[in-house]
Amino acid sequence: MITTSITKLFKIKYPIVQGGMVWVSGYKLAAAVSNAGGLGLIGSGSMHPDVLREHIQKCKKSTDKPFGVNIPLLYPNIEEVMDIVVKEGVKIVFTSAGNPKLWTSFLKKHGIIVVHVVSSVKFALKAQETGVDAVVAEGFEAGGHNGREESTSFTLIPTVSEKLSIPVIAAGGIATGKGMLAAMVLGASGVQIGSRFAVCKESSAHVNFKNKVLEISEGDTVLTLKELAPVRMIKNEFYQKIAALKDRGKDIDSLRELLGKRRLKKGIFEGDLVEGMLEIGQVASMIDKIESAKEIVKEIINAYTKAKKSLLEN
Amino acid sequence: MITTSITKLFKIKYPIVQGGMVWVSGYKLAAAVSNAGGLGLIGSGSMHPDVLREHIQKCKKSTDKPFGVNIPLLYPNIEEVMDIVVKEGVKIVFTSAGNPKLWTSFLKKHGIIVVHVVSSVKFALKAQETGVDAVVAEGFEAGGHNGREESTSFTLIPTVSEKLSIPVIAAGGIATGKGMLAAMVLGASGVQIGSRFAVCKESSAHVNFKNKVLEISEGDTVLTLKELAPVRMIKNEFYQKIAALKDRGKDIDSLRELLGKRRLKKGIFEGDLVEGMLEIGQVASMIDKIESAKEIVKEIINAYTKAKKSLLEN
């Protein structure tokens, strides 16, 4: 057991949160992480409200440990989603991609612990003002949507931790016990891990996607689409089309047309490695096997304990 | 005193290297850092060979501690520079921006300790093969020239440290004792610090540049000029011109023409904040005062020791 402000807040054994990831983290992954002593999150971003309700109900049946739901605030059926998490008695909600002012007080009024995902000190302070219980500070190296400031975990974690009075969960570039210890040295009270869980056994991602992630090496992901909203993805054929379009100059309409719809589902859930959008973090270059969520949590905690011990002996 | 493979290699008290920076690190800064127990580096990149000889001679008079010279391998008068470091009895050379194969064996033959700066595991392994004694692994967040892989310190330090058998010095995003401890948790045996020393009392940078660095906040630097060679700089008016040019499409000739010559001298040495190129690391947002090199080294070591102790107590 490791005790930090984050483990106390969520009443969990280890300060490890599994990032809520669209097309990746359904109830199977969330429950597996929670059962292993971390905090599992259902990623609602890719779910119709009815599907989300079903996943929450199944998650409650699959674990008696705390779990949460990640809700991107730009979700079209946001009212319905908020209604579901309240009615289903969800205890923890992570909000992202939007203004935390809109829903924090509503959720808090229903006794829900609220955490907001930020990529800058500026937005971290704004989130704190709205009354959230903690923030996830997500560095430039993280997969998926990201900030325009491009602050990396090495600069973001200490600055957010220093400026805020609420606990900080570090995300971006973390997949190992050493990474977790480094994040905590920099001021975090816990870590959110995405990529390593994205390719684990309980992830809903397509096997093609998982195998592609295991294959990639340094420099194989890139933060792109900055003209719309910055996203880190694998440099596959679809990305090459984005790059070629950008070489011809700034043209947001063409970029939006190329992006189209359902690229993420195509890539991650259907396994189309050519035309799909393959969101993953830079740290994917360090991941080389498919494990169970339980094995991952255990390995990270062992490595964390070992790293801490070896540091204190030197 | 802190003992690591890096302090043993250089015979220094603390595993802190001051990055060799053009227009910033002459003998005054290098000697001050060495006298404080770290390793000072003269940045030869902005010096004519005669000026470099003078700085080496003055550095020897200003400190009896080990110091080194940083040599960008693309330097036009490279033969003359190599001849000078050998004749002046320089004991430590950091090479960067070029192929380490060209000069490592020459320097080693003259009994010089050689360290090469890399931004990827691929180049780190190549550098190791040429027989260098250590590498500096420089993350995406570092100021000045940088790699195309955009690997951040959080992903670069552990991967390079794991793959190499020689010591790794971490650079990029590090300016504090906590940052130093985090880098060492991730596998480094020491750190190279640039930005914080760039604005210290002994730095040759113009006071306008130093004050500008103190002012900037998160998101105020950017890695740009990727079409030529990626460089991190402050988003000043000169950068806005680069961005505007790029919005019109990929046009390397126009970009090269805009860049022109002496932009770096203009910005850093002459203090032209509008037309000059203002290279600095992302971590500049955490730096808010001008101190002496001695104060910086002392503060970092105190904070490092405190961070390590607090880790032990928790």
CA nearest A221 in B: which residue?
B149
CA distances from A278 to A235, A243, A289 (A): 8, 15, 18
Residue from A7, A8, A121, A154 whose CB has the most chain B CBs within 10 Å, to mutate:
A154
A52 close to A31: Cβ distance less than 8 angstroms:
no
Q: Is B233 found in the same domain as B197? A: no
pLDDT in tens, A280-297: 999 999 999 999 999 999
Q: Residue B303: what pLDDT?
A: 98
Please state the domain count of chain A: 2
Q: Is A128 found in the same domain as A36? A: yes
Q: Is A141 found in the same domain as A64? A: yes
d(CA B273, CA B212): 8
Q: Residue A313: what pLDDT?
A: 81
Instruction: Please name the residues in contact with B93: beta carbons below 8 A apart, sequence gap of 6 or more.
Output: B68, B69, B70, B71, B85, B107, B112, B113, B114, B115
> What is the distance in angstroms between the Cα of A54 and the nearest Cα belonging to chain B?
37
Return the H-helix or E-strand segment holding A41: strand A40-43
Residues A246-264 have a mean pLDDT of 92
Which parts of chain B fold into alpha helices (H)?
A: 5-10, 27-35, 49-62, 78-87, 104-109, 121-129, 153-163, 177-185, 195-198, 207-215, 237-247, 252-259, 263-264, 293-313
Cβ pair A141:B120 closer than 8 A: no
CA angle A165, A142, B311 (to 5 degrees): 45
Q: Is B139 found in the same domain as B181? A: yes
Q: Which of A153, A286, A311 sits opposite B158 (nearest CB)?
A: A286
Under 8 Å CB pairs connecting chains A and B tally to: 143
> What is the distance in angstroms between the Cα of A196 and the nearest Cα belonging to chain B?
13
Tokens of A2: 């490791």
Cβ pair B153:A154 closer than 8 A: yes
Q: Which of B149, B154, B183 sits opposite A179 (nearest CB)?
A: B154
Tell me the longest C-alpha to C-alpha distance in chain A: 58
Residue from A218, A239, A314 whose CB has the most chain B CBs within 10 Å, to mutate:
A218
pLDDT in tens, chain B (314 residues): 899 999 999 999 999 999 999 999 999 999 999 999 999 999 999 999 999 999 999 999 999 999 999 999 988 899 999 999 999 999 999 999 899 999 999 999 999 999 999 999 999 999 999 999 999 999 999 999 999 999 999 999 999 999 999 999 999 999 999 999 999 999 999 999 999 999 999 999 999 999 999 999 999 999 999 999 999 999 999 999 999 999 999 899 999 999 988 999 999 999 999 999 999 999 999 999 999 999 999 999 999 999 999 988 87
Residues A113-125 have a mean pLDDT of 98
B264 close to B271: Cβ distance less than 8 angstroms:
no
Residues A194-201 have a mean pLDDT of 98
B173 close to B152: Cβ distance less than 8 angstroms:
yes
Domain hosting A222: range is 207-283
**In 10 A of CB B289, how many CB atoms?**
10
Return the H-helix or E-strand segment holding A32: helix A27-35
Q: Which residues of B touch A183 (CB under 8 A)?
A: 182
Q: Is B253 exposed, middle or buried (0-12, 13-18, 19+ CB in 10 A)?
A: exposed
CA distances from B312 to A7, A184, A245, A313, B283 (A): 19, 12, 52, 10, 27
Cβ pair A154:B173 closer than 8 A: yes
Rounded to two decimals, what is the model's pTM? 0.97
Return the H-helix or E-strand segment holding A136: strand A134-138
Q: Is A80 found in the same domain as A185? A: yes
pLDDT in tens, A9-53: 999 999 999 999 999 999 999 999 999 999 999 999 999 999 999
d(CA A23, CA A264): 8
Cβ pair A311:B307 closer than 8 A: no
Q: Which of A155, A176, A186 sits opposite B158 (nearest CB)?
A: A176
> What is the distance in angstroms between the Cα of A109 and the nearest Cα belonging to chain B?
33
Q: Which residues of B touch A235 (CB under 8 A)?
A: none
Q: Residue B139: what pLDDT?
A: 98
Q: Residue B12: what pLDDT?
A: 98
Q: Which of B148, B172, B282 sits opposite A219 (nearest CB)?
A: B148
Q: Is B42 found in the same domain as B11? A: yes
Q: What is the CA radius of gyration of chain A?
A: 18
Instruction: Please name the residues in contact with B109: beta carbons below 8 A apart, sequence gap of 6 or more.
Output: none
Mean pLDDT taken over chain A: 97
Cβ pair B182:A154 closer than 8 A: yes
Cβ pair A159:B249 closer than 8 A: no
Q: Is B267 found in the same domain as B219? A: yes
Cβ pair A152:B159 closer than 8 A: no
Cβ pair B159:A222 closer than 8 A: no
Q: Is B231 found in the same domain as B275? A: yes
Cβ pair A153:B149 closer than 8 A: no
Tokens of B66: 């080990």
Return the H-helix or E-strand segment holding A49: helix A49-62
Q: Which of B155, B283, B308 sits opposite A173 (nearest CB)?
A: B155
Q: Which of A151, A218, A223 sits opposite B121 (nearest CB)?
A: A218
- Strands B190-193, B221-224: pairing is unpaired
Q: Is B222 found in the same domain as B145? A: no
Q: Is B132 found in the same domain as B11? A: yes
Residues A186-192 have a mean pLDDT of 98
Cβ pair A159:B286 closer than 8 A: yes
d(CA A95, CA A77): 14
CATH code for the domain of B43: 3.20.20.70
Q: Is B86 found in the same domain as B11? A: yes
pLDDT surpasses 90 at A311: no
Q: Which of B155, B250, B285 sits opposite A155 (nearest CB)?
A: B285
Q: Residue A261: what pLDDT?
A: 87
ipTM value > 0.90: yes
Cβ pair B312:A312 closer than 8 A: yes
pLDDT surpasses 80 at A216: yes
> What is the distance in angstroms between the Cα of B60 and the nearest Cα belonging to chain A?
33
Q: Is B103 found in the same domain as B232? A: no
d(CA A94, CA A100): 10
